Structure 1
Amino acid sequence: MSKPIYVTQPVLPELKDFIPYLEQIWENKILTNGGPLHQQLEQELCKYLCVDYISLFNNGTIALITALQALNLEEGEVITTPYTFVATAHSIVWNKFTPVFVDIDPITSNIDVQQVGQAITEKTVAILPVHCYGIPCDVEGLQVLATKHKLKLIYDAAHAFGVEYNGQSLLNYGDLSTISFHATKVFNTFEGGAVVCHSLEMKQRIDQLKNFGIVDETSVNDISLNGKLSEIHAALGLLQLKTMNQTLQNRGKVDDYYRELLANIEGIRCIERLKVEKDNYAYFPIVVSEPYPLSRNELFEKFKQHDVFARKYFYPLMNELSVYKSYKSDTPNAKLLSEQVLCLPMYPDLTDNDIQKIVQIIKSETAL
């Protein structure tokens, strides 16, 4: 039997290189609460990502929930995209805001700025776009809207680790950006995440919120969650950073080879990545449409017959889930893309032979 090819595979260092970090943790006997490795990782990430302030979290979802809480927004609506993972919408509702889903640009898969502008009302308090697949949103257009209407702009940048756009980190746009360090992401700490902000005052507020709102031994100023990242997770992050540039280079090679082999197959479109100074090649989504002989779902099932496990990402849309159907939305572009998109396997160790096998499965239908 052939070895299965999964949609992603976590990048892990050599186990022998991880042992010294564990020995340091055992010697320090500090496991959490902002220990030395946690502090070191924050410093190293600020340098690597070219950001001023970063607060580490135990996962990207708690980071996003806390980011919204940190802005002290009044009750109201938050405009977002339905073409995303559930954490984006959940973070809005968890903070007792009302999500307003607007449509996407079908080419970039990101939120449509014109649709955002049309959705703004007196109830709107913030905009929460997603840099889908690590592709930058129209950050300039969104900032114009946020400034004009005095709205907060928070980016769900779960996919955008390391992306640089217009001469700076993509994470520097907006009031806050959140990242995910989940095992499937470009940079992982097993589980983890972070909030990027632009002032020491905001970082201190975020750090308090991720620790139950505790200020000191006798004071608690907010009702908030426990979002602290452990020393073991921080240790893995420090080790991962050492090979990050090579990881991104290898991902870029996989992306290039896919595009070369998939060129000129009718009905198969690779979602284009914007020209950026530094890309992370977080995913490899294709769009399956006529005249390709199979539907997206049929191709998905055919892959499984050959032990290739792609992913319908994002499907279903947030506004088609039962828990979100009652919220306002009209998103035909997002609906069509969710029914046609398929993320092919993408990770830095994916071999040329694996890529050839995947593309041959696609091409085999066109030869019938």
Structure 2
Amino acid sequence: MKKKIYVTKPFLPPLEEFISRVEKIWESGHLTNGGPQHQALETALAEYLNVPHVSLFNNGTIALITALQALEISGEVITTPFSFVATSNALVWHKNTPVFVDIEPETLNLDPSCIEAAITPKTSAIMPVHCYGNPCDMKAIETIAEKHKIKVIYDAAHAFAVEDLHGSVLTRGDISALSFHATKVFNTFEGGALVCKTPEMKSRIDSLKNFGIEDELTVSIAGINGKMSEINAAMGLTQLGYIDGAIEDRGRVDAAYRTALNGIRGVKVLGKPNQTVSNFAYFPILIDDNYPVSRDELYQRLREQDIMSRRYFYPLIPEFPMFKDLPSAREENLPVATKMAKRILCLPIYPGLDDEDLKRIVDVIKSPAEKVVNQATTVAAE
């Protein structure tokens, strides 16, 4: 019986190193509320990512909601329909109205040419996503935001350690939000972070994630409990010592796919536009009309071979019940996103995915195309 191959698999550092850090937690008795592990991880991540300030959170969604609160975002927020639902859920939880605009066909990121027409007097922010780690057109987005005096919050859940020609993508906009969920390139079991530019903003974020507590007698703002525990921080510190190797191994898988899938009619391997440093978080392919079967049929064939690919992102966020009645959710408003959601398939990629499993995956993708070629050859011979 063949083993299942999942779309991703969390990287786990050596258990003995993690246990060593956990023992320090037992010795200190400090389990949460910004303990030594938490403080050490914030410092280490700011240095590793080359960013000014990092504030750790218990998960990426709470981090996004806190970013909205920190910047006092109200009313409408322009965002992408092509993302995990947490992006728009955070807006709804903060009582903002998502306004969806279409995406670019190459990067699958928010299309700057569609943004300005969606801005109204109620618009207070733009929340783009660096989809699959591909940097958004940040210059164009931020030029629009500056013109209209609105904020930019980047959902950078896919973009850990990603760089473009200007350095870390996390330093752009007003705030960037990261996810450290188990499925991400860098994980703390569950967790997240906000990256900001000034010590004043970090102080505000840190207060918001700790109930707004200022001191023993003072609660100055209505905060939330978004703190990362010492156990999660210990996992992050242990992970950080191995993250370069994990990303390098993801790059090996990425390169192997690109070689093996090259030339298969109807299969387009997406590039990595605007990236100078990639984290190889995802491996999306586009199935077009030249491929012998539909994307969904290929997805099913892979599942029948115990290969768990994912249709990231399908359905589109605007198709979910809580969003579908928004004026911006109409399909005709989102032609590129609608098309891409029906064609994109993300293949398994994670450190340790071996050559045998890669061959299993590629063989399933090649099979329908090879069958067509063989049939055509037979007809020609006759």
> 2:18 matched to 1:18?
yes
| 1:35-64 Cα deviation digits (max 9, x unpaired) | 001000000000000001010000000000
TM-score by length of 1: 0.98
1:355 partner SS: helix
Partner of 1:38: 38
Structure-1 separation of matches of 2:312 and 2:221? 36
Choose which of 324, 337, 342 in structure 1 pairs with 2:340: 337
What RMSD over aligned residues (CA atoms) do the two structures have, in Å? 0.9
Shift of residue 215 of structure 1? 1.5
The within-5 A match list for 1:125-204 is 125-204=124-203
Please say if residues 134 and 274 of structure 2, whose CA atoms lie closer than 8 Å, have aligned partners that are also in contact: no
- Write the distance in 2 (CA, Å) between the matches of 1:272 and 1:367: 24
5+ residue gaps in structure 2? 372-382
Displacement of 1:328 in angstroms is 2.4
Paired with 1:266 and 1:324, the residues of 2 have a C-alpha distance of 36
Contact 1:77 1:97 in 2 (8 A): yes
- 2:318 matched residue in structure 1: 319
Residues 70, 208 of structure 2: 8 Å contact kept:
yes
The Cα offsets for residues 7-62 of structure 1, whole Å up to 9 and x where unpaired, read as: 00000011111111011000000000000010000000000000010100000000
Q: Answer whether contact 1:178 1:195 (CA < 8 A) is retained.
A: yes
In 1, the alpha carbon distance for the partners of 2:344 and 2:198 equals 39
User: Aligned pair 1:27/2:2, yes or no?
Assistant: no
- Residue 350 of structure 1 aligns to a residue whose secondary structure is coil
Q: Which residue of 1 aligns with 2:365?
A: 362
Tell me how far apart the structure 1 counterparts of residues 274 and 134 of structure 2 sit (CA, whole Å).
Answer: 9
Quote the residue 1:238 is aligned against.
237
Q: Output the CA distance in 2 between the equivalents of 1:258 and 1:367.
A: 17
Matches within 5 A, 1:43-122: 43-73=43-73, 75-122=74-121
The one-letter code sitting in structure 2 at the alignment partner of 1:106 is P
Residue number in structure 2 paired with 1:347: 350
Shift of 1:106: 1.5
Q: Which residue of 2 aligns with 1:281?
A: 280
Secondary structure at the residue paired with 1:304? helix
- 2:322 match: secondary structure: helix
| 1:275 Cα offset (Å) | 4.6
Find the aligned partners of 1:206 and 1:295 in 2 and give their Cα distance: 46
Question: Secondary structure of the residue that 1:343 maps to in structure 2?
Answer: strand
Contact 1:158–1:178 under 8 Å retained in 2: yes
Give the residue type in structure 1 aligned to 2:252: K
Amino acid at match of 1:260: T
Structure 1 residue 355 displacement after superposition: 1.1
Moved more, 322-331 or 28-37: 322-331
1:274 Cα offset (Å): 1.7
SS at match of 1:308: coil
Q: CA contact under 8 A between 2:154 and 2:177: conserved in structure 1?
A: yes
Deviation at 1:348, TM superposition (A): 1.4
Does residue 215 (structure 1) correspond to residue 223 (structure 2)? The answer is no
User: Per the alignment, in what secondary structure is the counterpart of residue 56 of structure 1?
Assistant: strand
Number of the residue aligned with 1:306: 305
Distance 2:144 2:356 in 1: 47
User: What is aligned with 2:265?
Assistant: 266
Partner of 1:366, secondary structure, is helix
How far residue 222 of structure 1 moved from its aligned partner, in angstroms, is 2.3
Paired letter, 1:353: E
Task: Quote the residue 1:5 is aligned against.
Answer: 5
C-alpha separation in 2, matches of 1:276 and 1:109: 14
2:190 counterpart letter in structure 1: E
Q: Percent identity?
A: 54
Q: Give the 3-state SS of the residue equivalent to 1:195 in structure 2.
A: strand
Please give the secondary structure, in 1, of the residue aligned with 2:284. strand
1:221 CA drift (Å): 2.3
Between the aligned partners of 2:367 and 2:98, the Cα distance in structure 1 is 43
3-state DSSP class of the match of 2:272?
A: coil
The yes-or-no answer on 1:250 pairing with 2:264 is: no
Report the Cα distance in structure 2 between the residues aligned to 1:299 and 1:203, rounded to whole angstroms. Answer: 46
Counterparts of 2:195 and 2:261, CA distance in 1: 36
Deviates more, 1:189-198 or 1:344-353: 344-353
Residue 229 of structure 1: aligned partner: 228
Which of structures 1 and 2 has the bigger CA Rg?
Answer: 2
Give yes or no for contact 1:167–1:277 (8 Å, CA) kept in 2: no
Contact 2:135 2:274 in 1 (8 A): no
> What does the per-residue CA deviation read over 1:301-347, in whole Å, with 9 as the maximum and x for residues that have no partner?
10011110001111111111011012122111111111111110010
SS in 2 for 1:312: coil
Alpha-carbon separation, structure 1, partners of 2:180 and 2:327: 31
- CA shift for structure 1 position 364: 0.6
Distance 1:3 1:93 in 2: 40
Cα deviation for residue 276 of structure 1 reads 2.5
Task: Tell me the SS of whatever aligns to 2:366.
Answer: helix
SS at match of 2:327: coil
Q: Which of 52-61 and 353-362 deviates more?
A: 353-362
